[in-house]
Amino acid sequence: MKDLDTILIIDDELQIRRLLQITLTANGYNTIHSVNGKDGLIDAATQHPSLIILDLGLPDIDGHELLKKLREWYFKPIIVLSVRNLEEDIITALDNGANDYLTKPFRSGELLARIRVAIRSSEKNEEVTLVKAGSFSIDFADHIVRKNEEILKLTSTEFSLLSLFARNQGRVLTHQYILKEIWGYGYIEQTQYLRVFVAQLRKKIEDNPSKPVFIITESGIGYRFGE
């Protein structure tokens, strides 16, 4: 039987740590706790956690700084869990290598889902060739997208965009990141391209484009590809 995944919680609030411990343990994870950034760095290095839940408001080190330090050598998922809900903070955290970002107060169900996605995607090492999501599938090798077994006609940009989303299933991608990946550095401010293509793509792949389930908007941040 596979060992339980260990999750490191770096948070100075006792009540949050307790809540996380109860919730995570009940859902089959081991937890370890650090109450400040310094301990967090040591625990991350010595305990080899499968995932870190990081609070940005720590007593000793600024959360963004800690995130950067961790990312120098820690390559497993980090989920930021913070009361800071400004878009700037979220984008900075994602840019600094956070896999996901949840603001307090959060819903436990949501957190568990994000944890599952993050751990699963970090365990996938081999190059994905086929992604299935609900009623449609993407075959990366053949550049074919099927919906309800029908082949969808996508432009090459649409396909690149969809591939990018699908390879990062469940993960928030910032506007800038997507623009950089698909169009290149020079287009990093051209959000309008992204808006138009996302709207086009939704019309093709979503059952109801006004209630998207695949390409989900993260207000002011970017998009997340739903499962």
Partner 1 sequence: MKKVYKNSAVRLKNYILPIIVIFITALFCSPLANTQNYHIVSYILLFVVSILATVFGTGPVLLAASLSALVWNYFFIPPHYTFHIDKTEDILMFGMFFLIALVNGVLTTRVRRQEKLAREREERTNILFQLTKELSRSNGIDQVLAVTLQNISNHFATDYFIILQDGQGSLNKYGSLPDKKTLTGDEYNIARWVFKNLKKAGKFSDSLPQTDYTFYLLKGTRLNPGVIAIKQEEFFVEGEELFWDTYTAQISNALEREFLGVLAQKASFLDESDRFYKTLFNSISHEFRIPVATIMGASDTLLSSPNAVNIREALYDEIFKASLRLNRLIENLLNMSRLESGHISVRLDWCDINDLVNKVISDLKNELASFNLKVNIQEDMPLIKIDFGLMEQVLYNLLFNSCEYAPDFSEIRMDVLYVSGEMLIYVSDNGPGFPEHTLQDVFKKFFRVERSKVGGLGLGLSIVKGFVEAHKGSVMVENRNSGGARFTIRIPSADPEFKKLQFED
Is 36 one of the binding residues for partner 1 (CB under 8 A)?
Answer: no
Q: Among 181, 187, 176, which residue's Cα sits nearest to residue 220?
A: 176
Q: Closest approach of Cβ 219 to partner 1, in Å?
A: 5
Contact pick of 29, 101, 165, 197 for partner 1 (by CB under 8 A)? 197
The whole-angstrom separation of Cα 126 and Cα 76 is: 16
Is 196 one of the binding residues for partner 1 (CB under 8 A)?
Answer: yes
Site string for partner 1, 145-164 (x = CB under 8 A): ----------xxx-------
Asked if residues 138 and 130 have their Cβ atoms less than 8 Å apart, the reply is: yes
Q: Interacting stretch for partner 1, rule CB under 8 A, among 35-43, 45-53, 114-122, 214-222? A: 214-222
**DSSP sequence for 18-62:** HHHHHHHHHTT-EEEEESSHHHHHHHHHHH--SEEEE-SB-SSSB
Is 187 one of the binding residues for partner 1 (CB under 8 A)?
Answer: no
Q: Interacting stretch for partner 1, rule CB under 8 A, among 55-63, 71-79, 110-118, 192-200? A: 192-200
Q: Interacting stretch for partner 1, rule CB under 8 A, among 12-20, 69-77, 179-187, 198-206? A: 198-206
The whole-angstrom separation of Cα 56 and Cα 76 is: 18
By C-beta, is 5 or 158 nearer to partner 1? 158
Is 226 one of the binding residues for partner 1 (CB under 8 A)?
Answer: no
Task: Give the pairing of strands 150-151 and 172-174.
Answer: unpaired
